[in-house]
Amino acid sequence: MCGYRRGEVEIPTVPVVATLAPAPGDASDRVQAAIDVIAARAPDASGFRGALLLRKGEYRLSRTLRISASGIVLRGEGSEADGTVLLATARSQYSLIEIGTDNLPTTWKPVSGTWQKILDAYVPVGATIVSVKDASRYQVGDSVVIQRPSTAEWIHAIGMDSIPPRSDGGEVVQWEPGHRNLHFDRVITAITGNQITVDAPICNSLDAAFGGGVIFRHDLERIREVGVENLRGDSLYDGPTDERHGWTFIAFNNVADGWVRDVSATHFGYACVQLGKFARAITVERAKSLEPVSLIQGGRRYAFAVSGQLCLVRDCYSADGRHDFVFGGLTPGPNVFLDCTAERAQADSGPHLLWSCGMLFDNVTVRGNELNIRNRGNLGTGQGWTGANSVLWNCSADRFVCENPPTAQNWAIGCVGAVSGNANWDLRGIHATPTSLYRAQLHDRLGQ
């Protein structure tokens, strides 16, 4: 159920309504103006305004291109060096393409009168039904958040109030109640009495012993049906450790049902594609991160970085990254990395910090480093338990560390490489059947 429209339909080919050709000088204003003209069009019955086609050649961009209206596709004529190349020219760290509304949210805000405690004493991982006192406050089709609180009792149970000091004397921040909440963004599909059914399972249990959970309606503004395809992003730079240049090729913010396909990013310092925490149901496929330029240290070279939910990253490639296929902190899931490969990895792939959950790494290969779901303890300033209720399926890496945190489980099945950790291991060194867990579940859901 991850990806554009739950992965159940093909990504559409949106008709071209405007075309630009390369021209000398900075193209930022010209390309942005063309995007804005399309944004002023009325959407068709499917919600599309149209595609802007950028003909082959180089487009020098000194500032960020922004897509802030639904139904717009930015399309080129190829992701190789002889295709459509968007070149970041400014001497600063910036995203070359940003997608989302102009007013970016910072937190989930309940609609007045809709916040309620969930009454169930225990709601298991994978559940889609919760009970409340008064379901009349909601309607089928409402967007809601199911919040799992981070109480002092839970933090103590997982040992994150006693993270040991760093040997170098660096700062360590113990986890604080209320600062590690999970927010599952869902849509109500049925209401029966005071039971509410949502469109996707929760990926962490709600236990009354640890504060249970709450539900509330949200009215987060998002744009939809947007895509970026058949483009190459590049960045000017001054030497192999330069950090004043293009930082991220494509960033999705508050977007639902969008996509990136057939793109490549060269010489960026941070990411090819970044999916922010308000991104939902995004597919990224056949994307490449190549020759990143930055210092090789923290906060750099996160080639494909996911903090949203119900997202699918498939058939993607990264070379010379650090955390090539990575989840940010408190990423609520479900999310999938499928058929992805990292070469010459400078650090591990996997969830990076702060209890992300509902992750599937399906046929992911990491050459030169590790693929991990583990307790990072006092790394950073106290990254601690990185992942829960997640699966490594038919993956390959130099080494795996997969551990079970208190109150949750992780699985590693059919993985090839050196292994350690107390997770649920099966078929070590032998790939499992079916070849892909994601595809098998998709076929089952579609009745194929």
| pLDDT above 90 for 448 | no
Strands, DSSP E only, in 339-409? Answer: 341-343, 350-351, 356-357, 359-362, 365-373, 387-388, 390-393, 396-402
My answer on whether omega of the bond before 124 falls inside 30° of 0, hence cis, is no
Residue 162 CB-density burial (10 A; 0-12 exposed, 13-18 middle, 19+ buried): exposed
Residue 426: pLDDT band (50, 70, 90) is: very high
Cα atoms in the Cβ-side hemisphere of radius 13 Å centred on 178? 0
Residues in the chain: 448
Judge whether residue 103 has pLDDT over 90.
no
DSSP code, position 268: -
Can you say how many angstroms the Cα of residue 183 is from the centroid of all Cα atoms in its chain? 14
Give 366's strand partners.
342, 397
- Asked if the peptide bond before residue 105 counts as cis, ω within 30 degrees of 0, the response is no
The correct answer on CATH 2.160.20.10 for the domain covering 4-103+222-446 is: yes
Residues 334-360: pLDDT tens digits? 999 999 999 999 999 999 999 999 999
pLDDT, residue 102, reads 84
Average model confidence (pLDDT) across the chain: 98
d(CA 369, CA 401): 11
| Spatial contact of 90 and 269, defined as CB atoms under 8 Å apart | no
Section 40-63 average pLDDT: 98
Question: Exposed, middle or buried: residue 398 (CB in 10 Å: 0-12, 13-18, 19+)?
Answer: middle
Delimit the domains of the chain by residue range: 4-103+222-446, 116-217
pLDDT band with cut points at 50, 70 and 90 for residue 8: very high
Dihedrals phi, psi of 199, to nearest 5 degrees: -80, -10
* Count of beta carbons in the 10 Å neighbourhood of residue 81: 11
pTM above 0.85, yes or no: yes
User: Alpha carbon of 112 to those of 104, 115, 133, 183: distances in Å?
Assistant: 20, 7, 16, 17
pLDDT bin (cut points 50, 70, 90) of residue 88 is very high
CA 200-202-207 angle, 5° bins? 150
Average pLDDT over residues 237-260: 98
Q: pLDDT of 141-180, one tens digit each?
A: 999 999 999 999 999 999 999 999 999 999 999 999 999 9
With a cut of 90, say whether residue 58 has pLDDT above it.
yes
* CA dihedral (3, 6, 7, 13) positive or negative: negative
